[in-house]
Amino acid sequence: MSDCLFCKIVAKEIPATVVYESDRALAFRDINPQAPTHVLVIPKAHVANAVELAGAGDGLADDVLKAAHAVAEQEGVSEGGYRIVFNTGADAGQTVFHVHAHVLGGRSLTWPPG
């Protein structure tokens, strides 16, 4: 999608600090980190939200979740624990409508989230 921020990051039209890449997923640091590790993991293809990601039905959701875990391992938070968040819809705080998993870790995370 030509007007999508994250599609532009995939296309390298907007710079990002990429920390992990697979055939179909890309992971880069959030520009406004909320934890020592705050990485966004996206499918390279434009998919609007989590249910569309699952609905793709071709293993794309698996690829994104595996990439999220690979990022956590790489960041050294996989054993201590980390959080994967898909904000879905405006009330949940979704602002970019290209699905993305927030991978958060490196500090003690409170529950419930705000």
Residues that bind ligand 5GP (CB under 6 A): 5, 14, 16, 28-32, 40, 87, 93-96
In the bound state with ligand 5GP, the residue whose beta carbon lies nearer, of 36 and 59, is 36
Q: Does 4 bind Zn ion (CB under 5 A)?
A: yes
Query: What does DSSP assign to residue 90?
Result: G
Least distance to ligand 5GP, CB of residue 16, Å: 5
Tell me which of 38, 44, 98, 100 binds Zn ion, using CB under 5 A: 98
My answer on whether omega of the bond before 36 falls inside 30° of 0, hence cis, is: no
Given the residues 38, 46, 98, 100, the one annotated as active site: 100
Q: Is 7 in the site for Zn ion (CB under 5 A)?
A: yes
The C-alpha atoms of residue 69 and residue 52 are separated, in whole angstroms, by 21
Q: Is 102 helix (H, G, I), strand (E, B) or coil?
A: strand
> Cα-atom radius of gyration of the chain, to the nearest Å?
13
Task: Report d(CA 8, CA 76) in Å as an integer.
Answer: 29
46 belongs to the binding site for Zn ion (CB under 5 A): yes
Of 18-26, 40-48, 57-65, 104-112, which part binds Zn ion (CB under 5 A)?
A: 40-48
For 74, phi then psi, to 5°, come to -60, -35
Nearer of residues 38 and 98 to Zn ion, judged by Cβ = 98
| 3-state DSSP assignment of residue 2 | coil
**Which residues form the catalytic set?**
100
